[in-house]
C-alpha cells in the first residue's frame, strides 16, 4: 500500500518522471519503511529485555555445563543490550563468576552481531528468511568461535587478575510494572532512533543513486560470481564500519538486487556488526594483543567460511 | 547520604553524573557525590553494565541513564 502511495506522490504530486522519479520513489519508500520497522522492532526488543539484564545472564550461566553454556550465552546475546563501552566490566564480571573464557567470548561475539538495529534493518530490507539465516549463522559463529577460543586455554592472556568469587549468584528477574517497562523501552527506542535515522537516510540515498545510475554489469563484475575474493574483501571492508550498520545495510540491499551474491552480503553485514575496531581498542586494556588478534581471526574466518558456503549453496 | 556513579568514562556515564547533580540540587538534601572510575571498585559492586548508580553502598540502577525525576525519587526513598 505504502509502495503505491509513495509512487503516486512522486509521479503526480511532485511531478517527476523517468530515472529521477525512480530514484526519488525508491528513496522515499525505503526510508519511511525502514524508519517504521526500526521503531517497531527496537521497541519490541527493548521491551522484552526489561526482564533480563546482564547481571541475570551472568547468574544464569554460572556453573552450567560447557556445551549448554556456550549455546545459552550466544542465545542471551540476542536479547540483552550491548554497548562496547561496558565490554570490560562485563568481561571481568563473567570471569569473576567463574564462567569459562570461551563461554564469555560466545556472549561477546553474539551480543553485537544480534543487536536490535542490525536485526531491524535486515528484517526491513530483506524479510524474515534472510534475517533468520543471519541470526542462525551469527549464533553458530558465536558458539563455535567461543568454543575454539576456550579450547586454546588462553586464560593467561587476560591482563588483569580476577579474583573468583565464592558461592553462587542468585538469578533475579528484573521487577517492574508493565507500564514502567513500556516507558523504559520507549525512551530507549527514541534514543537509538535519534542516533541513527540520519544514517538510514544517507544509506538509502546513496542506494537510490546506485539503483538509478550505476549499471548492473559493474556491480556483478566486482561483487558477483566474477570475483572469487568478494567475500574476503567484503569482510575486511566491514571492520571499520561498525557504528554505521544503519547506513550500510540499505547499500547492501541495492548491491544484492543488482547482482552481489547473498553470501557475500551476509558476510559483509556480519563483519560490520561483529568485528569492531573501537571494541578491540577497549578490550586492549584487559586482554593481550595476541588474544584480541585471535578473537578477530577466528570470528573473521568463521564469517568468511559462511559467506563462501552460502554462495556455493544458493 | 552518599551517592556513587560508577563508570569507566563512557558517554552514558557522564550523562548520568550530570543528571545526578541536578537531582541532588533539586532534592535540597545534603548528599556526597563521588564518581567511581576504578574498575576494581566497580567489580566489587557486581555491576556488569555501566553506568551504575549506588546509594549508600546499595546498587540501585545499572546500564542506563535515569531521568532527573527518577533519581530524585531514589534519593527521597
Residues of B in contact with A86 (CB under 8 A): 10, 48-50, 63
| Domain limits for position B27 | 2-70
- Nearest C-alpha neighbor of A236 from the set A268, A273, A208: A268
For residue A294, name the pLDDT band (cuts at 50, 70, 90): very high
The residue among A4 and A235 whose pLDDT is bigger is A235
Q: Supply the pLDDT for residue A151.
A: 92
Examine the pLDDT at A272 and tell me if it is beyond 80: yes
* Domains identified in chain B, total number: 1
B32-36 vs B2-6, strand pairing mode: parallel
DSSP code, position B41: H
For residue A171, name the pLDDT band (cuts at 50, 70, 90): low
The pLDDT tens digits for B22-60 are 999 988 888 899 998 888 888 888 888 888 899 998 888
* Mean per-residue pLDDT over chain A, rounded: 84
Rounded Cα distance between A235 and A301, Å, is: 9
Please indicate, yes or no, if residue B76 is contained in any of the structural domains.
no
A184 close contact with B: CB closer than 8 A? yes
Please indicate, yes or no, if residue B42 is contained in any of the structural domains.
yes
The grid coordinates of residue B1 equal 547520604
Q: Supply the pLDDT for residue A79.
A: 82
Long-range interactions of A177-184: CB distance < 8 A, separation 24+:
A180/A50, A181/A47, A181/A50, A181/A51, A182/A47, A184/A46, A184/A50, A184/B64
Examine the pLDDT at A31 and tell me if it is beyond 70: yes
What does pTM read for this prediction?
0.83
Selected residue of B16, B42, B49 to mutate for chain A interface (largest A Cβ count, 10 A): B49
- Nearest C-alpha neighbor of A303 from the set A258, A251, A261, A268: A268
If DSSP codes are grouped into helix, strand and coil, which group holds residue B24? Answer: helix
Q: Comparing A81-95, A258-272, B33-47, B49-63, which segment has the lowest mean pLDDT?
A: A81-95
Examine the pLDDT at A243 and tell me if it is beyond 70: no
Q: Name the one residue in this structure whose C-alpha cell is 542462525.
A: A136
For residue A242, name the pLDDT band (cuts at 50, 70, 90): low
For residue A217, name the pLDDT band (cuts at 50, 70, 90): confident
Contact A86 B43 (CB under 8 A): no
User: Residue B40 is part of a domain; what is its CATH number?
Assistant: 3.40.30.10
Structural domain spans, chain A: 34-313
Rounded Cα distance between A87 and A102, Å, is: 15
Q: Comparing A105-109, A300-304, B4-8, which segment has the lowest mean pLDDT?
A: B4-8
Rounded Cα distance between A69 and A64, Å, is: 6
- For residue A97, the distance in angstroms to the closest alpha carbon of chain B comes to 10
Smallest Cβ–Cβ distance between A86 and the set B43, B46, B48 belongs to B48
Q: Comparing A60-69, A77-86, B57-66, which segment has the lowest mean pLDDT?
A: A77-86
Q: Supply the pLDDT for residue A140.
A: 93
The pLDDT tens digits for A120-157 are 888 888 888 888 988 999 999 999 999 999 998 888 88
* Tally of CA atoms within 13 A in the half-sphere of A159 that contains its CB: 12
Amino acid at each position: 500500500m505504502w509502495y503505491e502511495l509513495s509512487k503516486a506522490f512522486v509521479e503526480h504530486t511532485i511531478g517527476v518522471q523517468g530515472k529521477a522519479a525512480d530514484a526519488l520513489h525508491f528513496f522515499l519508500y525505503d526510508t519511511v519503511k525502514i524508519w517504521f520497522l526500526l521503531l517497531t522492532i527496537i521497541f519490541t526488543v527493548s521491551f522484552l529485555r526489561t526482564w533480563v539484564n546482564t547481571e541475570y545472564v551472568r547468574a544464569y550461566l554460572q556453573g552450567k555445563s560447557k556445551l549448554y553454556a556456550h549455546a545459552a550465552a550466544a542465545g542471551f546475546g540476542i536479547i540483552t543490550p550491548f554497548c562496547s563501552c561496558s565490554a570490560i566490566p562485563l568481561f571481568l564480571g563473567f570471569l569473576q563468576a567463574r564462567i569459562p573464557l570461551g563461554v564469555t567470548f560466545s556472549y561477546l561475539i553474539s551480543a553485537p552481531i544480534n543487536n536490535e538495529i542490525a536485526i531491524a534493518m535486515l528484517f526491513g530490507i530483506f524479510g524474515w528468511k534472510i534475517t533468520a539465516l543471519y541470526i542462525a549463522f551469527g549464533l553458530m559463529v558465536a558458539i563455535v568461535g567461543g568454543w575454539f577460543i576456550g579450547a586454546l586455554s588462553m586464560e593467561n592472556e587476560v591482563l588483569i587478575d580476577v579474583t573468583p568469587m565464592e558461592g553462587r549468584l542468585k538469578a533475579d528477574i528484573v521487577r517492574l510494572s508493565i507500564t514502567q517497562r513500556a516507558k523504559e523501552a520507549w525512551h530507549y527506542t527514541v534514543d537509538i532512533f535519534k542516533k541513527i535515522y540520519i544514517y538510514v537516510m544517507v544509506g538509502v540515498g546513496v542506494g537510490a543513486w546506485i539503483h538509478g545510475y550505476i549499471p548492473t554489469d559493474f556491480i556483478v563484475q566486482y561483487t558477483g560470481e566474477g570475483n572469487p575474493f568478494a567475500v574476503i574483501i567484503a569482510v575486511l571492508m566491514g571492520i571499520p564500519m561498525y557504528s554505521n550498520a544503519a547506513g550500510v545495510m540499505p547499500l547492501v540491499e541495492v548491491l544484492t538486487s543488482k547482482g552481489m551474491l547473498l553470501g557475500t552480503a551476509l558476510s559483509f553485514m556480519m563483519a560490520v556488526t561483529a568485528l569492531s575496531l573501537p571494541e578491540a581498542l577497549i578490550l586492549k586494556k584487559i586482554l593481550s594483543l595476541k588474544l584480541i588478534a585471535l578473537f578477530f581471526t577466528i570470528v573473521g574466518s568463521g564469517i568468511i567460511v559462511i559467506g563462501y558456503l552460502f554462495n556455493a549453496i544458493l | 547520604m552518599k551517592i556513587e556513579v560508577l563508570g569507566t568514562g563512557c558517554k552514558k556515564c557522564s550523562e548520568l553524573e550530570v543528571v545526578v547533580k541536578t537531582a541532588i540540587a533539586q532534592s535540597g538534601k545534603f548528599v556526597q557525590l563521588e564518581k567511581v572510575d576504578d574498575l576494581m571498585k566497580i567489580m566489587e559492586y557486581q555491576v556488569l553494565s555501566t553506568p551504575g548508580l549506588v546509594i549508600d553502598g546499595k546498587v540501585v540502577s545499572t546500564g542506563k541513564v535515569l531521568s532527573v525525576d527518577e533519581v530524585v525519587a531514589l534519593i527521597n526513598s
